[in-house]
Amino acid sequence: MERRDWLRSAALSGGFALMGGLNPALALTKEEIRKYHPRPFEGPIRLSSNENPYGPSEKVRKAITDSFNEACRYPYAYMDELAVILAEKEGVTPDHIIITGGSTEGLKITGITYAANGGEIIAGQPTFLAMMSYAKQWGGNVKWVPVKEDMSYDLKGVYEAINPKTKLVFLCNPNNPTSTVLPKGDLMKYAEAISDETMLFSDEAYYDYIELPDYPSMVELVKKDKNVIVSRTFSKVYGMAGLRIGYLIAKPEIAEKIRKNVVAFTNVPAVQAAKAALEDNEFYEFSLQKNREAKKMICDTLDSLELPYVPSHTNFIFFKSGQHISKLHQAMLDKGVRVGRPFPPFFEWCRISTGTLEEVALFNNAMMEVYS
């Protein structure tokens, strides 16, 4: 559908956010639009990939354009400079840091480092599949531990599943797609126990969105020289998903082992963008605030429709659709909104990413029509 036709269709169906219940006080000012760069309001609205709808920020964009004169260079020296900055941020030394082409690259290379040719990974179900899917292509095996009724990890079950074939335990915390976090007390207790038995990988792509006081990162266990690997990304709160840059944190001997399998090195513009992003606290806080506002709008609509959902510690919400996800996906796409993919075995659940407030208002209107 042409953009003009789609916008006309959205307006006629009540989909335009400013005509569909968006509080004018929540609309961005011209200054905010200039600094934070919300993505264009055009269809279909894609609330399916947990992307930050803002950014890259003005400061990051300047860093990217300023880096063009250096784009003829290989990225290695620039990556070393970033590793020093990240090491200071995480409270470790630079040899603990592995910079990758997005955190997904980090997950994949860790999977094949530890589980290729018959090794076993233990993972919750459902969860983010990049590590497990890639390891299986290289001969790895996966043992799944279903989440509990409240959609949280069964940490006790994960620990009890460890056996002589286990090479790595994968935890996504907060978990994708359920948006849950591990209880703070159980997290460190079980994490230490798991790391004494096998390698533990903590995917913390959504860690920045956690608002629980003093919630720990498993980087604290890396500092204790435990067998723990942590992944972080610039794709989410920093609004840089298209630039493909992330990093792993692990003790030096583990980092060196994984580093040998890195394939998708990042690039100079992405590295310089990451440096600028780490200094742009204003954009960081803006992204978190807009995520709160968008989640509240979505939850208010789900409440009005009496659709259960999991309290979210991320930039998405997992709700019970009451119908097969393929049916809801098509119904929402017909209204100009793309929602998340299936996450077996929860075929009557839907993951919806937060978007700009205009996009969320369109989602809310579409939901009201679909469930009317």
Distance CA 268, CA 94 (A): 18
Note whether 348 and 259 are same-domain residues.
Answer: no
Distance CA 166, CA 298 (A): 40
Distance CA 371, CA 369 (A): 6
Q: Please give the average per-residue pLDDT across 346-370, as a whole number.
A: 97
303-325: pLDDT as tens digits: 999 999 999 999 999 999 999 99
Assign residue 176 the CATH number of its domain.
3.40.640.10
DSSP state of 60: H
Note whether 221 and 288 are same-domain residues.
Answer: no
Q: Are strands 316-320 and 120-125 parallel, antiparallel or unpaired?
A: unpaired
The per-residue pLDDT of the chain, averaged, comes to 93
CA 299 vs CA 109, 126, 127, 233, 361: distances in Å: 37, 22, 22, 26, 12
Two tokens at 220? Answer: 């604290």
Domain edge (last residue) among 279, 294, 311: 279
Specify if 156 maps to a domain: yes
Contact 246, 233 (CB under 8 A): yes
Helix or strand or coil: residue 132? helix
Note whether 7 and 133 are same-domain residues.
Answer: no
Say yes or no to pLDDT of 160 above 80.
yes
Distance CA 201, CA 191 (A): 10
pLDDT of residue 24: 65
170-222: pLDDT as tens digits: 999 999 999 999 998 889 999 999 999 999 999 999 999 999 999 999 999 99
Q: Which domain holds residue 363?
A: 3-57+282-370
Note whether 180 and 251 are same-domain residues.
Answer: yes
Say yes or no to pLDDT of 270 above 50.
yes
pLDDT of residue 19: 40
Note whether 187 and 289 are same-domain residues.
Answer: no
pLDDT of residue 27: 81
Helix axes 325-334, 357-370, angle to 10 degrees: 110
106-144: pLDDT as tens digits: 999 999 999 999 999 999 999 999 999 999 999 999 999
Say yes or no to pLDDT of 12 above 50.
no
Q: What is the pTM assigned to this prediction?
A: 0.92
Neighbours of 300 (CB within 10 A): 12
Say yes or no to pLDDT of 264 above 70.
yes
The beta strands (E) that lie in the chain are given as: 45-46, 97-100, 120-125, 141-146, 166-172, 199-203, 228-233, 246-249, 316-320, 337-338, 349-353
Distance CA 173, CA 207 (A): 7
Specify if 14 maps to a domain: yes
CA 78 vs CA 36, 82, 102, 166, 318: distances in Å: 25, 6, 16, 36, 38
pLDDT of residue 296: 97
Assign residue 316 the CATH number of its domain.
3.90.1150.10
